[in-house]
Amino acid sequence: MTAELPRKRIIGYADKLSLAPGETIAFKASCEDIAEYRADIVRLICADLHPKGRGWIEKEIASPVSGSYPGREQAIPAGSWGRVPSAPGLCSESLTVALHLWPTTPMKGEQALLARMDVSGKRGWMLMIDATGALALRIATDKGIATVSTGVALQERVWSFVGASFDGASGAIRVWQRPQKTWPGHDATGDGAGEVAGAIDASGLPLGIAARPGREEGPRRFCLDPCNGKLEAPRLYGRAMDAGEAMALQAAPLGERALIAAWDFARDTMGETIRDIGPSAHDGELVNVPTRAMTGHNWNGEVLDWKAAPAQYGAIHFHDDDIADCGWETDFSFTVPQGLKSGIYAARLVAGEQNDHIPFVVRAPRGSASADALFLMPSASYLAYANEHAAVESAGAMDAFSGHLSGLSAQDLLLDERPDLGYSLYCHHGDGSGVAVSSRLRPVLNMRPGVTNAWVGPGGTFPWQFNADLPLMDFLEHHGFACDVATDEDLHEEGLDLLSRYRVVMTGSHPEYYSKPMLDALDGWLQRGGRLMYLGGNGFYWRVAFHPEIAGVMELRRGEDGIRDWVAQGGEYYQAFDGAYGGMWERQGRPIHALAGVGMAGQGFDISGYYRRTDDSRNPRAAFVFAGIEDEIIGDFGVVGGGAAGIEVDRCDFSKGSPPNTLVLASSEGLSDIYYPGPEEIDNARPFLDAVQNPQVRAELTFHETANGGAVFSTGSIAWIGSLSWNGFDNNVAGVTANVLRRFLDPEPFPEP
Amino acid sequence: MDAIDPARKDLVEEFRRNPVGRQSGDLRRLLNTIRRHPDLPPYVLVCTKAQREWRLATKPGGKGAVTTLLDHPPFNDPLEAEWQVFRLRWKALTGEDLPHDR
């Protein structure tokens, strides 16, 4: 067997996703066994490698970036933890450490809970879970190293009060664990005792919470022995105590004279600072954005909003595979010259057969528009899917789900090998908990031109998100339509002010994730006469929150309902980043249908169908849509499943809020028997749910007027954009899209019907 | 999980003609069974040339499980891969060889 698995050996990311002329973006790359690579800036037009697609079209931009750069490997400091800077006040001859712990991988191996231990492990102390899953304290003195364990494995996902003490005078060590819950034959209560000679000296060492502080390289803070699980209310005292005394003090430690620090994770929940409520304010910083606003050991199930009872939400869930910012050194930067056309660009990195494209958006100059139309790049949805792992983790179950074999790419294989590249909001962490936070400050290997989704389409042949949206650029270029590009993050930051410069907004193929500022702005703009072309499916579905301090970091709680690859724990439906109730927008009085005319109806990932026109398509109000198009069947072709109606589809539903003036212009046919509705459509499972037997699972092409002369045109299908370039753009999907765009660009208000 | 009925050559023929897309209820149940069968190798394709070439491999579920390329000629059409994997599964469960060519 001579074939080898394909391997991706150059990866990178940028500090920004979108920028305007005069602004600078920094690119960071990591190479494996590559001494030198070439970089250029290119404008991306199309990367449709389907045998019947348009192929790879990019235009090189003359810039000072063009040239060769030395390749180097840059490590990723994965793992979330809390870092408290070293301070003389953190030192003591004797100590007691205690906290509430909900371990999720107690048998993983050594995991630090609270540690001031140097990198070599030969100086300091560390409260930890040992290799047998038991609570332990390691003391490293000038005379030796001792690790004292309870010898009893902690129960996974059971709260325990754990702690340990060291008496500097006698050298005595005590450790304990007190589970909140026991079962006959399963009592994880444990104690241990031992001793060590010598004195501890942790001077100069930062204190780590949920990990042992490791080496530091510039902004990169590596950690050692990271733990998985929820930690709550760590305490540090300057004298030795036994379990009973420490437990008695745990809830109210401030009266204890020996208190050194008492961290309260229920304070400043929306940010990355952890507060010490003790007298010396040994505040710390969280690294890699662990999940906050988590239920604590005392959550009583009566309160669901962390803001209403912060004391019951004093836990942080740490993961050894969290990554918020790789912190890599910059390889090169690019300052966008004045006059560079708004569009989708990339830094192209090439070394022999290895390459990477790091995408970015050039916006119109700040405060202005250079066109009447805007492509609103659904970057929040790209971020939700960033480094998605379903195909590499699900084996044959994915075969059955998507109706064909998956096709793993070099990107998929690297993601599988490198958990430090982090996960998508569809993934589970290594400890089995759902991934609630995603960041773009890391290589996002599936947000790349030419990259298809491993489990979507036979052999992973269908594009997804970023690469599925690029053909729209190709279409606009072909027709000579002027169009600016901005991202969801731009909309989140600038709101209505951004949209108010444009007459038409076009979405991508799958704008699924919206923050409240984004949705409010889009809704408000529509009511002021804006014209929206929703060119996708399953849009406006989930509510997300962007981090209040770190740009490019986003949070999701998969709560209550909707298509969920994981489900948030009870009591953890409220977002930490903004305190809002997370989940589906339609569960929060913001039905998709009211905005778009259509809303999520179902999904399948094998083939696409087509649309058949309805009588409404002959309504004079919609005459402009089909001008010059006599075909009854629309979109029975395309590179995404062979049709324009498919993958994830939306239908008009007046009972769910579609405006009464919505015209259903065409309705889909030909979806397969593995198209199913989402859980929000299934109140009770029935043996006729699939699209062959269930007429509710369909895509619909709709049009409706909004206030002040505005309008909405929706395709209700992820596959639509994949049909635009078929037959050299000479097809009825391109025709309909061009007709709608031309009319929407016309300032003539749409009359009230 | 239902046992595979080797006599259902009609389902084999249906799959041979149409390996992906709308299928009969009986074929769908057969596919759901053999694709998720715990005793069969977890087949997957590895794409070696974008949209042009795939190789057959196994990849167990879970994080970081080893991907193993199998000694099998590359495919230039993912639908051909569907048929060959169907043959492998059918052979393993019924002992019968199905024709190589689609």
Minimal Cα distance from B64: which residue of A? A416
Q: Which of residues 61 through 90 in chain B touch A, CB cutoff 8 A?
A: 61-65, 67, 69, 71, 74-75, 78-79, 81-82, 85
The CATH number of the domain where A240 resides is what? 2.60.120.200
* Distance (Å, whole) CA A359 – CA A363: 13
Residue A409 located in a structural domain: yes
Predicted local distance difference test score (pLDDT) of residue B3: 83
Residue B31 located in a structural domain: yes
Contact between A399 and B37 using a beta-carbon 8 Å cutoff: no
Show Cβ contacts of residue A147 under 8 Å, excluding neighbours closer than 6 positions. Answer: A130, A136, A137, A138, A139
For residues A621 and A532, state if they share a domain.
yes
> Tell me: the pLDDT tens digits for A694-719?
999 999 999 999 999 999 999 999 99
- pLDDT classification of A209: cutoffs 50, 70, 90: very high
> Tell me: the pLDDT tens digits for A220-262?
999 999 999 999 999 999 999 999 999 999 999 999 999 999 9
The residue written with tokens 């065409």 in the block is A666
Average pLDDT of span A748-752: 96
Contact between A405 and B81 using a beta-carbon 8 Å cutoff: yes
Structure tokens of B63?
């994080």
For residues A298 and A392, state if they share a domain.
no
User: Strand, coil or helix: what is A474?
Assistant: helix
Predicted local distance difference test score (pLDDT) of residue A290: 98
For residues A291 and A397, state if they share a domain.
no
Show Cβ contacts of residue A260 under 8 Å, excluding neighbours closer than 6 positions. Answer: A89, A90, A92, A95, A236, A237, A238, A278, A280, A282
- pLDDT classification of A284: cutoffs 50, 70, 90: very high
For residues A730 and A585, state if they share a domain.
yes
| Residue A498: CA count within 13 A, CB half-sphere | 25
Contact A159, A104 (CB under 8 A): no
- pLDDT classification of A2: cutoffs 50, 70, 90: low
> Tell me: the pLDDT tens digits for B50-90?
999 999 999 999 998 999 999 999 999 999 999 999 999 99
* Distance (Å, whole) CA A592 – CA A534: 11
Q: How far is CA A322 from CA A80, A428, A700, A720, in A?
A: 5, 11, 39, 35
Predicted local distance difference test score (pLDDT) of residue B1: 66
Domain of A424, in residue numbers? 380-745
Q: Which of residues 399 through 438 in chain A touch B, CB cutoff 8 A?
A: 399-400, 403-409, 413, 416-417, 419, 430
For residues A314 and A388, state if they share a domain.
no
Best B22, B52, B55 member to test A by mutation, with max A CBs in 10 Å, is: B22
> Tell me: the pLDDT tens digits for A26-35?
999 999 999 9
Residue B102 located in a structural domain: no
ipTM for the complex?
0.98
Q: Is the pLDDT of residue A395 over 80?
A: no
Predicted local distance difference test score (pLDDT) of residue A3: 80
Minimal Cα distance from A463: which residue of B? B51
For residues A171 and A262, state if they share a domain.
yes
Predicted local distance difference test score (pLDDT) of residue A177: 98
> Tell me: the pLDDT tens digits for A79-118?
999 999 999 999 999 999 999 999 999 999 999 999 999 9
Minimal Cα distance from B23: which residue of A? A673
Structural domain count of chain A: 2
* Distance (Å, whole) CA A325 – CA A552: 9
For residues A284 and A405, state if they share a domain.
no
For residues A496 and A632, state if they share a domain.
yes
Q: Which of A318, A342, A372 is the last residue in one of the domains? A: A318
Q: Which of residues 458 through 477 in chain A touch B, CB cutoff 8 A?
A: 458-461
* Distance (Å, whole) CA A62 – CA A41: 7
Average pLDDT of span A455-483: 97
Average pLDDT of span A546-565: 97
Average pLDDT of span A425-453: 97
Q: Which of A318, A347, A365 is the last residue in one of the domains? A: A318
For residues A98 and A196, state if they share a domain.
yes
Instruction: Tell me if chain B has a CB within 8 Å of the CB of A669.
Output: no
The candidate with the shortest Cα–Cα distance to A64, out of A39, A96, A47, is A39
Using CB atoms, pick whichever of A50, A392, A407 lies closest to residue B47. A407
Structure tokens of A193?
């005792």
* Distance (Å, whole) CA B13 – CA B19: 10
* Distance (Å, whole) CA A616 – CA A666: 8
For residues A290 and A389, state if they share a domain.
no
Average pLDDT of span A311-326: 98
User: Strand, coil or helix: what is B1?
Assistant: coil
For residues A269 and A418, state if they share a domain.
no
Q: Which of residues 346 through 365 in chain A touch B, CB cutoff 8 A?
A: none
Contact between B82 and A6 using a beta-carbon 8 Å cutoff: no
- pLDDT classification of A150: cutoffs 50, 70, 90: very high
Residue B2 located in a structural domain: no
Residue A410 located in a structural domain: yes
Contact between B59 and A400 using a beta-carbon 8 Å cutoff: no
Structural domain count of chain B: 1
Domain of B87, in residue numbers? 9-94
Predicted local distance difference test score (pLDDT) of residue B64: 87
Residue A9 located in a structural domain: no
Q: Helix A410-417 and helix A390-402: axis angle, to 10°?
A: 130
Residue B38 located in a structural domain: yes
Using CB atoms, pick whichever of B64, B67, B71 lies closest to residue A5. B67
Q: H/E element holding A681? A: none
Measured in angstroms, the CA of A705 and the nearest CA of chain B are apart by: 36
Q: Is the pLDDT of residue A267 over 90?
A: yes
- pLDDT classification of A733: cutoffs 50, 70, 90: very high
* φ and ψ of A679, to 5 deg: -55, -30
Residue B99 located in a structural domain: no
